[in-house]
Amino acid sequence: MSTQVSAAAVADRLLPSASPVRLLDDATPAGYARDYAMPSEQRLRSAYRAMVIGRRFDTQATALTKQGKLAVYPSSRGQEACQIAAAASLRDDDWLFPTYRDTMSLVSRGLDPIEVLTLLRGTWHCGYDSQATKTAPQCTPLATQSLHAVGLAHGQARKGRDSVALAMLGDGATSEGDFHEALNFAAVFRAPVVFLVQNNGWAISVPLAKQSAAPTLAHKGVGYGVPAEQVDGNDVAAMTSVLDTAVEHARSGGGPFLIEAHTYRLEAHTNADDATRYREDTEVEQWRGRDPLERAERYLRARGCLGDEDVRGFAEEAEEFAGSVRARMQQEPEVAPLEIFEHVFGELTPQLQEQRAQVVAEQAAEAMSEEDR
């Protein structure tokens, strides 16, 4: 087997563009590694509406943590373009493998918001039916879902199906071994999976410069033979077009595709984090100037596809959606503590048996206490 590969062949097939793909602020996409078409105005209008609802949902979920209704919530405010475009790129029979930060994407895909928030409420491992929704449980460990996505995508391909798996990751996940194993397996077996890395610059408080020496995170695909692209993650038009290209590449038998979306979380890592301890206000303000909602709104208004009445209508719809979430979250869930030990192992480990016995004892003591009152 020849080991000689021309630089031109590598560049044509694998390398990302020299600069992130951007369509909203620069309508001349010449010079990118691939051709990217501007999505239709109707599609961008739908994306804008979804981002308005998504942002309102995000602020409502954040508020629920302060009311004690959620144990924790990782905001994705500022990353709306990534969240909405990812959900919109998939067919109903495609699979989504999200992280804990991708709640907005799940809601945009049509999942019940209360069921989605179950994990973050701390009452169950996953509140929605993964098989029915084709959405894997939100993953808290970094990058493990990338292996799950590859395994499922490979299995679907072997069954002759043309569905695609989309794995959502953060920049910190690309430093994990699971991420690299997933890329390698997917490339060798041409698994139809898209890896979407939302690079928001920080792995909690660790800046990207201390995570990776690669030119870009997209370049990490080259060593595995995985074509890659980098894109402005706050540009919903560019996100939509690049995701369309990647999903079609995977669905048509081209194998995996890696996308690095340059974006920024405007809030802290979670409600339990103090971001002012590790990043400057000037940095946050700079990114506020690239707000994905404002950029989409300017583009659509300039083309007469969006007016004041539309903006008010979408805002009212978002407020109604948030109100429904708020009201439903006031209803206390029924919790069976022993269920936490079910559906994980066929046979409990000795440590879990000990923990289960402890819960049983605590329930018995509580019941006796109630009887004594």
109, 262, 265, 295: the active-site residue? 265
Q: Known catalytic residue: 265? A: yes
The 10 Å Cβ neighbour count of residue 134 is 18
The 10 Å Cβ neighbour count of residue 219 is 17
What does the alpha-carbon distance between residue 66 and residue 61 come to, in Å, rounded to a whole number? 9
Nearest of 217, 321, 200, 212 to residue 263 by alpha carbon: 200
Q: Rg for the chain (alpha carbons), in Å?
A: 22
SS3 170: strand
Which DSSP string corresponds to 34-79?
S--PPPPHHHHHHHHHHHHHHHHHHHHHHHHHHTTS-S-----TT-
Q: Could you tell me if 168 and 141 are in contact, meaning their C-beta atoms sit under 8 angstroms apart?
A: no
Which amino acid would we find at residue 317?
E
13, 34, 77, 278: the active-site residue? 278
Q: Known catalytic residue: 278? A: yes
Residue 234: both structure tokens together:
């706050």
Helices (H) and strands (E) in the chain, counts: 14, 7
Q: Known catalytic residue: 269? A: yes
121, 262, 269, 290: the active-site residue? 269
What does the alpha-carbon distance between residue 54 and residue 87 come to, in Å, rounded to a whole number? 12
Which amino acid would we find at residue 262?
H
The 10 Å Cβ neighbour count of residue 109 is 23
What does the alpha-carbon distance between residue 66 and residue 283 come to, in Å, rounded to a whole number? 26
Catalytic residues: 265, 269, 278
